[in-house]
């Protein structure tokens, strides 16, 4: 069985190409896109909207720093259906918002790449390349190295869920809310983000980008907690809703602590 490998290729400012190759595992569960129906939303600037967002911030503020180990599985659908997986370690420091992810070969336990972000910038270092790639917090392109199919992955969604800092994105001028249904709608140029919130925090995030011609949904599986034990992401085409990729991140263990040593971050 051939070991998993991860490769990164720069595509210019704001986007990085991430390629996976490795051995196949079981298919990833399909999750559905939520339906908002014909709900009426109110401005985040309103008294009701402001109060609702403040409650969401209060819930997210309960999160702590943590370290942990996880497994990430990625399923490609084009040009052929394949599932690949890697093990990883994650470090998140709540006071600074810094997060570092280390991906390792499942068979040999060798580090193949490190991803660092402070919530604004992303830095990536792979074992195969000495040069460190830097880009603003933005999407990552996922590619099948065999067929070359590329699909955008909403990396910011994953970061904000794993750091419980979604509320940073709820700017009053671009945010609408539906407090009774626990829904937050954020609109930007060419993009729309919909957050579905429970009394324990954000459970599902939907991303719809006309600029990039993709839709994606990320959903916490089981009880909403921090950090989430299992998250599933599904990326589809806006044209025909055909599946492009699915991603599963499953936490194996976590250690909640007050802060992470600064020496942990960096390459």
Confidence of residue 18 (pLDDT cuts 50, 70, 90): low
pLDDT in tens, 174-233: 999 999 999 999 998 889 999 999 999 999 999 998 888 889 999 999 999 999 999 999
Pairwise CA distance, residues 214 & 105, whole Å: 30
pLDDT in tens, 241-252: 999 889 999 999
**pLDDT confidence of residue 11:** 40
Pairwise CA distance, residues 226 & 220, whole Å: 10
Q: What is the mean pLDDT of the chain?
A: 84
Residue 226: CB atoms within 10 Å: 21
pLDDT in tens, 32-57: 999 888 899 999 999 999 999 999 99
Predicted TM-score (pTM) of this structure: 0.85
Is the distance from CB of 111 to CB of 126 less than 8 angstroms? no
**pLDDT confidence of residue 135:** 87
Residue 172: CB atoms within 10 Å: 12
Cβ-count burial 244-264 (b if 16+ within 10 Å, e if not): bbbbbbbbeebeeeeebeeee
> Tokens 């590619």 identify what position?
143
**pLDDT confidence of residue 107:** 57
Pairwise CA distance, residues 235 & 183, whole Å: 21
> Tokens 């990320």 identify what position?
218
Pairwise CA distance, residues 208 & 141, whole Å: 16
**pLDDT confidence of residue 131:** 87
The answer to whether residue 9 scores a pLDDT higher than 60 is no
Give SS3 for 263.
Answer: helix
Is the distance from CB of 98 to CB of 265 less than 8 angstroms? yes
Q: Which CATH number fits domain 5-26+41-264: 3.90.850.10, 2.170.120.12, 3.90.79.10, 2.50.20.10?
A: 2.50.20.10
The answer to whether residue 22 scores a pLDDT higher than 70 is no
Domain ranges of the chain: 5-26+41-264
């Amino acid at each position: 069985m051939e070991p998993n490998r991860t490769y990164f290729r720069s595509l210019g400012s704001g986007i990085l190409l991430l390629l996976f190759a490795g051995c196949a595992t079981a298919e990833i569960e399909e999750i559905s896109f939520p339906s908002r129906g014909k709900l009426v939303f109110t401005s985040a600037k309103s008294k009701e909207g402001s109060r609702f967002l403040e409650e969401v911030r209060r819930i997210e503020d309960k999160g702590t720093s943590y370290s942990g180990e996880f497994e990430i599985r990625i399923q490609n659908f084009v040009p052929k259906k394949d599932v690949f997986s890697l093990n990883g370690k994650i470090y998140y420091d709540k006071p600074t918002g810094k997060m570092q992810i280390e991906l390792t070969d499942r068979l040999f336990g060798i580090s193949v790449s490190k991803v660092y972000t402070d919530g604004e910038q992303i830095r990536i270092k792979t074992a195969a390349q000495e040069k460190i790639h830097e880009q603003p917090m933005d999407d990552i392109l996922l590619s099948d190295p065999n067929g070359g199919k590329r699909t955008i992955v909403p990396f910011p969604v994953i970061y904000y869920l794993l750091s419980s800092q979604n509320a940073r994105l709820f700017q009053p001028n671009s945010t609408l809310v539906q407090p009774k249904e626990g829904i937050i709608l954020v609109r930007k140029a060419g993009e729309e983000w919909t957050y579905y919130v429970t009394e324990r925090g954000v459970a599902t995030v939907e991303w719809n980008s006309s600029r990039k011609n993709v839709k994606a949904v990320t959903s916490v599986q089981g009880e909403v907690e921090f950090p989430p034990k299992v998250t599933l992401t599904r990326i589809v085409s806006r044209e025909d809703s055909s599946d492009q990729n699915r991603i599963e991140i499953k936490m194996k263990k976590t250690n909640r602590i007050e802060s992470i040593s600064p020496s942990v971050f960096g390459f």
